[in-house]
Structure 1
Amino acid sequence: MLHTFTLYSNQILSYLLDGLPEEETAPLSTPAAETAAKHLRFADRRNAETIILFGAGDGRLAKELAEKKKGNQILLICDLFPQQIRRLTANGFDSIINQNCAVLTDSSIWSQLLLLIQNGYNAADSHLILNPALTGDSKKKHQNLQKIFSGTKKLTLPESHGHGKISAAAILSPDEPDLKDFINNFPEWVNEIVLVWDTSELNHIRENEEFQNKKIIHICQQLNADFSAQRNRMLQHCSGDWVIYLDADERLDNDSWDILRQATALEACDCWYLPRMTFYPDSSNSRIGYGLWPDLQLRLFKNTSRLRFINRIHEKLTGIQGKSGILPDCPIQHLTHILKSREKIENKLKNFDQAAGGKVSHRLGKEFPNILNEFIDPGKDRKVGPLLLPDINLTC
């Protein structure tokens, strides 16, 4: 498990990203040795198998904990500022890393949350420490990570499926590659498939045998650089109790579809985020780091009249009420780098720039940190189950 954290963090640290904020620290009011001894006593009283330090800070507390903890205890250092870990490593910080001590770093709270939970760590069996050397925004971010890790609850999927209707939906361009496979990816049990096409007429689509399915509702509306307008048109035609929508370059496997269907029977949650794995540079690896994974997508939600997408680009669904959760075992397979050439992806980004009215500029990097899928996908043998998120004001 710690090997996964090391592999992941090494990839993040190998990728230099400019413009990231610095981790804010201040001298400890109590010596690091004394603070470490206090927390180790607390951990012993609770019989905690794992000690999780949120924020490396100046590295002193981490080193004291690593040196003085029991040999069978595990120390995890979770830090949201990779440049701080890079700086500490240059001064010998990595000397504390061993089979019972690991650093997990990424700027994404959500990547750290899922990696911890998917590898079997939980707050009940751990002693959690917010590094007292942190100040300002660094303290706030690590505190949020600690709160969400402590407050996230695992739910058990019901044996039966939900009884409500489920609408599957998408907004599509007729020139998207492999549309036949995309349509066939929707399971037979969905009640309807609502497709909003970026075109002025539908004759050539209706005549295409690939789209001859009695469950499909075809809608014609040109995009006009307004993705929210397309999504809202899509919602208008969804009659199901729940809606699941995907993009043309996304797929779900059969197990994910089954879990998704079961999740609609959980009354504790009104909407579900799905992690998205963007395959790169091939189908065996996925992009990671700085928000590239888990890239949570709100794709499954109860259908109500309050729902509305806003923003012409990078559209956001509003009107959701009730609790939200994550389905870690239902990763969206994002095939954009598999199905499309670099030229087509860059042309798509130009359309995004147009939709943003010049306020945002999208650029496609020449390389991305990546890792084998097996290290971030829970897999059949170590499924996590649905996660109910605490009521913390965090943006996914």
Structure 2
Amino acid sequence: MKANSSTPEEAAEKHLRYAKRRNAKTIILFGAGSGTLGKVLAEKKSSEQELIICDLYPEHIRMLNKGGFGEINKNENYTLLTDSSIWALLLLLSQNGYETTDSHLILNPELDGQSKNKHQNLQKLFSGTKQIDPPEHASPCKISAAAILSPDEPELADFITNFPDWIDEIVLVWDCADLTPVPQLGKFHRAEIINVCHHLEADFSAQRNRMLENCSGDWIIYLDADERLSKESWDTTRLMTSFKGCNGWYLPRMTFYPDREHCRIGYGLWPDLQLRLFRNSPSLKFVNKIHEQLTGINGASGILTNCPIQHLTHLLKSRKMIESKLEKFNSSTGGNFSHQLGNEFPHLANKFVIPRNDWKLSPLLLPDINMA
């Protein structure tokens, strides 16, 4: 412990008193530190209280476990959450019913430097995020769906039919010089389909901006050819266009691997938040040739936690097709870095990252805080 600070036992007893005074059902410790404070809290808390330790350094937790930290699992009502992604821990807490109203939050006093800053940001993010009720009725606004595509993408008919009937127009920007190789997709959807042809030229932002220029809807939602949404997710996105307090919504993305029952996870592979639903505005612009980012959204943003994008790339595409796409990415970096396809990805059963059945999952409105 730092000089002139309390012992782990004293700190634990102090926080347990605070938690009891607030009738807090859950104690959330941000940052494991040496592991001592977490162990003491686990030993001294009541059996009715739940202890959750959140840590953003998985390699640190592995080291602590080698020293016996893992024995804390023997304690009742204890959960350890660790991932290098601050968003993964936020969603795991939120979609499993944890809220600040009935939780006592502790920033581990042992932390310093970057570790303290990162865990403090996680605490601020969790504290400032608000769960909101979706509107009961969808607004009569016009909604444009959009995508940038290659004519040789697999399952394009299935991709188009995944868009619901209430979509007003579908804007497709094709990586080709003219309409000759473009498949005829109009017969698969009632909406007007606007086809635009322009070679990608290793500039994904430019292609996305062509997509924006052709969208006339009040709101825009875009997907890639290997992505799908469930009917329930589509219904929610439509409702959220009626919510006045937010102009841009992030959707979590589940990349299925090696099958539909598992998804990639760890080190940012989940929730892989994607800003895909947003109010149309002249200020919108994509930047960066690769890993393009949307700028120009004014006002608050949020997360539709119950609308996961189903990312099918490993199920629809061969390894050769994925490597070909990575080559396009690499040509956009100017030699600064390259993407390589590994032979294996960390993955977990989907049941560990989907919301629990007894919890009504609500959209999250994000706080305006500096995450630097």
Instruction: State the TM-score, normalized to the length of structure 2.
Output: 0.96
CA distance in 2, matches of 1:105, 1:130: 15
Letter in 1 for 2:80: V
Is 1:272 the counterpart of 2:229? The answer is: no
Q: 2:168 aligns with which of 170, 173, 191?
A: 191
CA distance in 2, matches of 1:394, 1:258: 31
Q: Equivalent residue for 1:130?
A: 107
Q: Equivalent residue for 2:38?
A: 62
Deviation string for 1:4-39 (max 9, x for gaps)?
Answer: xxxxxxxxxxxxxxxxxxxxx967722111111111
Measure how far apart 1:214 and its partner are. 5.2
Is the contact made by 2:8 and 2:37 (CA closer than 8 Å) also made in structure 1?
yes
Is the contact made by 1:27 and 1:133 (CA closer than 8 Å) also made in structure 2?
no
Is 1:50 the counterpart of 2:26? The answer is: yes
Measure how far apart 1:75 and its partner are. 0.7
Is 1:152 the counterpart of 2:124? The answer is: no
Letter in 2 for 1:366: N
Measure how far apart 1:208 and its partner are. 6.2
Measure how far apart 1:206 and its partner are. 6.2
Letter in 2 for 1:40: L
Instruction: State the TM-score, normalized to the length of structure 1.
Output: 0.90
CA distance in 2, matches of 1:188, 1:27: 65
Measure how far apart 1:209 and its partner are. 6.5
Measure how far apart 1:74 and its partner are. 0.8
CA distance in 1, matches of 2:133, 2:189: 38
Measure how far apart 1:205 and its partner are. 2.4
Is 1:87 the counterpart of 2:87? The answer is: no
CA distance in 1, matches of 2:162, 2:47: 49
Measure how far apart 1:99 and its partner are. 3.5
Is 1:165 the counterpart of 2:142? The answer is: yes
Letter in 1 for 2:205: S
Letter in 2 for 1:258: D
Alignment of 1:324-343 (within 5 A): 324-343=301-320
Measure how far apart 1:211 and its partner are. 6.3
Measure how far apart 1:375 and its partner are. 2.1
Is the contact made by 2:47 and 2:76 (CA closer than 8 Å) also made in structure 1?
no
Q: Equivalent residue for 1:15?
A: none
In structure 2, the CA distance between the partners of 1:147 and 1:194, relative to structure 1 (3 Å rule), is same
In structure 2, the CA distance between the partners of 1:377 and 1:28, relative to structure 1 (3 Å rule), is farther
Measure how far apart 1:294 and its partner are. 0.2
3-state DSSP of counterpart to 2:182 = helix
CA distance in 2, matches of 1:254, 1:48: 37
Is the contact made by 1:153 and 1:387 (CA closer than 8 Å) also made in structure 2?
yes
Alignment of 1:295-310 (within 5 A): 295-310=272-287
Is the contact made by 2:167 and 2:191 (CA closer than 8 Å) also made in structure 1?
no
Which shifted more, 122-131 or 203-212? 203-212
Is the contact made by 2:186 and 2:192 (CA closer than 8 Å) also made in structure 1?
no
Query: Which consecutive unaligned segments of at least 5 residues does structure 2 have?
Result: none
CA distance in 1, matches of 2:333, 2:366: 31
Q: Equivalent residue for 2:16?
A: 40
Measure how far apart 1:204 and its partner are. 3.9
3-state DSSP of counterpart to 2:220 = strand
Letter in 2 for 1:66: A
Deviation string for 1:192-245 (max 9, x for gaps)?
Answer: 000000000103426567567551000011100000010000000000010000
Which shifted more, 379-388 or 106-115? 379-388
Letter in 1 for 2:233: S
Is the contact made by 2:96 and 2:356 (CA closer than 8 Å) also made in structure 1?
no
Q: 2:82 aligns with which of 105, 119, 123?
A: 105
CA distance in 1, matches of 2:147, 2:370: 29
CA distance in 1, matches of 2:160, 2:339: 29
Deviation string for 1:154-180 (max 9, x for gaps)?
Answer: 111111102211000000000000001
CA distance in 2, matches of 1:333, 1:124: 32
Is the contact made by 2:286 and 2:295 (CA closer than 8 Å) also made in structure 1?
yes
CA distance in 1, matches of 2:151, 2:140: 33
Aligned length: 371
Letter in 2 for 1:171: I
Is the contact made by 2:170 and 2:191 (CA closer than 8 Å) also made in structure 1?
no
Q: Equivalent residue for 1:240?
A: 217
